[in-house]
Amino acid sequence: MQKLTDERIKALQLVLPEARRDELMSAHTSMKIGGPARLYLIVSTRADLLNAIEAAKSHKISFYVFGGGSNMLVSDDGYEGIMLQFADRSYKIDGTSIRAAGGALTGVVARAAAEAGLTGFEWGAGIPGTIGGATYGNSGSFGWEMKDAVANVEALKISTNAIINYSNAECRFGYRDSRFKRDPHVILSTTLELRTGDREGALKKVAEIMEKRKASQPQGYFSAGCLFKNFEYEDESALEKLQTQVEEIPEAMLKQKRISAGWLIDLLGLKGTKIGNAQISPIHGNFLVNLGNARAQDAMALSSLVKMKIRDELGIMLEDEVQLVGW
């Protein structure tokens, strides 16, 4: 990407004076990896977000909207434009629905729902990051996904500048997928529709989910959650090579037509593999952890190595779940 000149950066800073220069993205991502954004701005209200986007557009400077930075791998070169961190944390509960700003924290919204005696979003308590990020990637865990709770999404369509209210069906949610991944939008708010439950029961479920997560995920390391999507297939011919390498594929995976990426990584004995200070977690094969000051380049090389081995030895091409920024 072409380098932004000093003049162009300063011109945008004149209209967005709080934007910081050359801010290291490692300070704003859960992996603690990522070089400098030419400009970086926290926007705490929807109006500030829309204003900053308008300013970037009129100065013809690229912008990238993100939330918690918990699903991103930013390059060591950083981002040649303005990174906008959406931090409007507001949400409102009205009966069984919750309207949450794109910058509201998913875990906070999930706990508030349980506190209000609503059920159906307890699983969200363990998801780092924001409602905007969770909607974008149709985040999920233990069998639940955003698509099960979303009623509608209000988003700014970048190509036309229109603010559109999308129904659940119009969001075209799929496994870790949504229309927002294909057609650039900024998610302003998401309305969840939950069910009336009992407060005690919902809070108990939140606690159980948090316990389960603690037991299955590496604790105390910087990561971006799962590195790869699990492998989905239509017909069994996609598993031909894999079947020659293993005695048995777990029944649950065959039933769902979805092979766990972590299981494949474990199968090839790749847990613990390191490049520089980036490591495939010895605890969870689909977590790439930063052991301290890991470079994005090392994380990328490690991710490519895993993909290549799985492709060559098991005939399966894994897809990234983590979003790549500035590569």
Ligand X SMILES: Cc1cc2nc3c(=O)[nH]c(=O)nc-3n(C[C@H](O)[C@H](O)[C@H](O)COP(=O)(O)OP(=O)(O)OC[C@H]3O[C@@H](n4cnc5c(N)ncnc54)[C@H](O)[C@@H]3O)c2cc1C
Q: Which of 170, 176, 179, 236 is catalytic?
A: 176
Q: Is 23 a catalytic residue?
A: no
Q: Residue 115 CB, nearest distance to ligand X (Å)?
A: 21
**For ligand X, the closer CB: 166 or 239:** 166
Q: How far apart are CA 179 and CA 187, in angstroms?
A: 11
CB 5, min distance to ligand X, A: 25
Token couple for 306: 């895993």
Please, are residues 66 and 72 in contact by the beta-carbon 8 Å criterion?
yes
In the complex, least distance from residue 287 CB atom to ligand X, rounded to whole angstroms: 8
Please tell me whether residue 129 binds ligand X under the rule CB under 6 A: yes
Stretch in the footprint of ligand X (CB under 6 A) among 36-44, 136-144, 197-205, 289-297 = 136-144
The least CB distance from residue 165 to ligand X, in Å, is 15
> Phi-psi region for residue 261, left (φ > 0), alpha (ψ -120 to 50) or beta?
alpha
Tell me how far the alpha carbon of residue 105 is from its chain's centroid: 13
122, 145, 154, 321: which one is catalytic?
321
99 carries an active-site annotation: no
Nearer of residues 29 and 273 to ligand X, judged by Cβ: 29
Q: Does 323 bind ligand X (CB under 6 A)?
A: yes
Find the binder of ligand X among 34, 140, 197, 285 (CB under 6 A): 140
**107 near ligand X, rule: CB under 6 A:** no
Site for ligand X in 217-256 (CB under 6 A): 217, 223-225
What distance in Å separates the CA atoms of residue 293 and residue 203, rounded to the nearest whole number?
Answer: 37
104 touches ligand X by CB under 6 A: no
Q: Are the C-beta atoms of 21 and 13 separated by less than 8 Å?
A: yes
Q: 170, 226, 313, 319: which one is catalytic?
A: 226
Active site residue 226: yes
Produce one character per residue of 233-261: b if its CB has 16 or more CB atoms within 10 Å, e if not: eeeeebbeebeeeeeeeeeebeeeeebbb
Using an 8 Å Cβ cutoff, are 20 and 12 in contact?
no
CB neighbour list of residue 58: distance below 8 Å, 6 or more residues apart: none
What tokens appear for 27 in the block? Answer: 């300070």
The answer to whether 71 and 11 are in contact (CB under 8 A) is no
> In this complex, which beta carbon is closest to ligand X, that of residue 102 or of residue 197?
102
Parallel/antiparallel/unpaired status of strands 72-74 and 323-325: parallel
**Partners of residue 93 on adjacent β-strands:** 98
Tell me: does residue 166 bind ligand X (CB under 6 A).
no
Q: Is 79 in the site for ligand X (CB under 6 A)?
A: no
Asked if 285 interacts with ligand X (CB under 6 A), we say: no
- 200, 233, 300 from 193: Cα distances, Å: 20, 31, 38
Q: Is 40 one of the binding residues for ligand X (CB under 6 A)?
A: no
63 binds ligand X, rule: CB under 6 A: no
**List of residues contacting ligand X (CB under 6 A):** 30, 65-72, 86, 102, 127-130, 132-134, 136-137, 139-141, 180, 186-187, 217, 223-225, 323
- Annotated catalytic residues are 176, 226, 321
